[in-house]
Amino acid sequence: MPTHWAIDLGTSNTTICEDRSGRPHVVNLPDLAKIEPVTQTPVMPTCVCVMDSGGDDVLIGQQAVTYNWDGRAAGFVRGFKRYLGTESGRTMARVGGRSFTAQDAASLFLREVIRTLEAHFGDEVTNVTVATPSGFYETYRAELQSIVRRLQRRGWWARMWARLRGKPAGIAFRTLDEPVAAALGYGVDVGRPTTLVAFDFGGGSMEAAVVRTHGARTVETGQAEVLAKQAVELGGDDIDRWILERFVPRALHDWPEWEVALRWEAERVKLLASAGSEGNFTFRNESFGTLDYEVLRDILAANGLYERMRELLDALLAELRTRHGMPAADIDDVILEGGSTLLPEVRNVVGDVLGRDKVREWLPFEAVARGACIFAGGAHVEDFIYHDYALRVLPDDGRDAEYELLIPGGTRFPTVDDFVTRYYAPGFDGQQHINLFICEVGRVAGRPVDWTERPGGSRYFVPRSAGERAFCLCLNEADPALPLSPPGRGTAPRLRVTYSVDENRWLCVTLHDLHRKTDLKVRHPVVRLR
């Protein structure tokens, strides 16, 4: 069985996935990639540095970024993806009297990626799937097809020898729409008609598209119908500039030899703050201040990011209603793509407009590549829950909230009816209501939450900062409290609650009043898990 390789060719970063191990796995090429600090995903900067006029000596990824540390390398190219479908002949660099176009840069980048994969894994790359933006023209796919064909680099004897060994004589190449790939990567079953919103917030732009999959046809072709789309030229690069404006005197911005280093430092502290940590902005051994989650959130709010997001999403929904007569309630799932979706409150704003229960788990760097690999292998979707889900508990002594684990990430569904059973006593005599606040607990700084086991076998998590608390999202705060009649008294358990997950990802509860010996709710759906 041939290995399927999938490439998410991003404007800023590229992610590669393979299925040599039997299931999709993100590839780490240490010399070319960097580890994204929030999700710990290996990502490769989408850039090329051409060292000679023949294009034979080329650096890509992190090597190219390091070589261009001062921003003065004449052959350094980034951002070529946005021109590949519309201006593939656009000149991006000049080296030794020769011009290198966007098409040239993409070809050199993919050439080096494939060469590195073959050297790293000791096997030929014969099957490649590349995810492509839905809104791009068909010429983008055609350009990629043409580039891959030119990368065959096989003479007559090589093709014949490959056939004698029973191997393909070239690279089998396929494409699929990025929203479809992301949906597969997030666990959405595109084998049935589905309407989803893909919110893509990367380094250069913010885009949102409503996409409808068409069951078996989508599984076969990897394409979906775009119902509505909105975009603004606002991305992570703008956030870096806002951080510079906040911390660094304007006079320093005007020194070309310092521009690249300043932007790198702004990006570094931005990623740390987004992960709930603190970043000390340092340049030339001088500290300019500390950026944490709350300060970064204030910077984003002051520069109108959240307002721009709401305007974009409102315009998307208006277009959907006008063109197709479709209300927001008909949207099944919302998927997040791009590193800038990790910024403070971005996910909450999307959820507030489109519905928090519809927003899928956070895999901004790997969902597209992982989904493309699933598509290449036959589009089998694994049904399991990605994030941890917990009950928010308020201690009696007034301390901050704790989170008691109910449904751990990796749980396959549907589960048995009594997957988890908990007993709850009244918090005080005369208590007339009780709340069951269910929270989604994401990865903190890219790592799974370290749950602490307590007597009785339950596990808890206590956030240590506002940044960590931001990764604990309550999904049903608006639900009415459950009445206790008669009011609770004493310290003995009053309610027995069993938790389960049904075939549609809904977390269901069955509540039994131990005092009255009766069921208050039976398999009652509370929140939809992702």
Which of 54, 25, 28 minimizes the C-alpha distance to 43? 28
* Burial (CB count <10 Å: 0-12, 13-18, 19+), residue 128: buried
**pLDDT tens-digit series, residues 101-153:** 999 999 999 999 999 999 998 888 888 888 887 655 567 777 888 888 787 65
Residue 174, number of CB atoms within 10 A of its CB: 18
User: What whole-number distance in Å separates Cα of residue 130 and Cα of residue 372?
Assistant: 7
User: Does residue 492 surpass a pLDDT of 80?
Assistant: yes
Least confident of 204-218, 357-371, 444-458: 444-458
- Mapping DSSP to helix (H, G, I), strand (E, B) and coil, where does residue 341 land? helix
Instruction: Please say whether the structural domain 388-528 has been given the CATH code 1.10.3470.
Output: no
User: What whole-number distance in Å separates Cα of residue 400 and Cα of residue 387?
Assistant: 22
- φ/ψ of 483, rounded to 5, equals -75, 145
Q: Where are the domains of the chain?
A: 5-187, 189-359, 388-528
Contact call for residues 36 and 385 (beta carbons, < 8 A)? no
R_g of the chain computed on alpha carbons:
25
Sign of the alpha-carbon dihedral angle for 316, 317, 322, 324: positive
**pLDDT tens-digit series, residues 281-295:** 988 778 888 999 999
**pLDDT tens-digit series, residues 426-452:** 878 888 888 899 988 865 544 567 889
User: Across residues 350-360, what is the average pLDDT?
Assistant: 89
**pLDDT tens-digit series, residues 272-324:** 898 888 889 988 778 888 999 999 999 999 999 999 999 999 999 999 999 89
Architecture of domain 189-359: 2-Layer Sandwich (3.30)
Which of 309, 303, 308, 264 minimizes the C-alpha distance to 283? 264
Contact call for residues 78 and 47 (beta carbons, < 8 A)? yes
Contact call for residues 433 and 483 (beta carbons, < 8 A)? yes
**pLDDT tens-digit series, residues 462-475:** 888 777 777 788 88
Contact call for residues 500 and 529 (beta carbons, < 8 A)? no
Model pTM?
0.68
Which of 33, 34, 16 minimizes the C-alpha distance to 25? 16
Kindly report the CATH class assigned to 5-187.
alpha beta
189-359 and 388-528 agree in CATH topology? no
Confidence of residue 361 (pLDDT cuts 50, 70, 90): low
Count CA within 13 A, CB hemisphere, residue 352: 10
Non-local CB neighbours of 154 within 8 Å, separated by 6+ positions: 162, 169, 170
Non-local CB neighbours of 491 within 8 Å, separated by 6+ positions: 425, 426
**Longest alpha-carbon distance in the chain:** 87
User: What whole-number distance in Å separates Cα of residue 329 and Cα of residue 354?
Assistant: 8
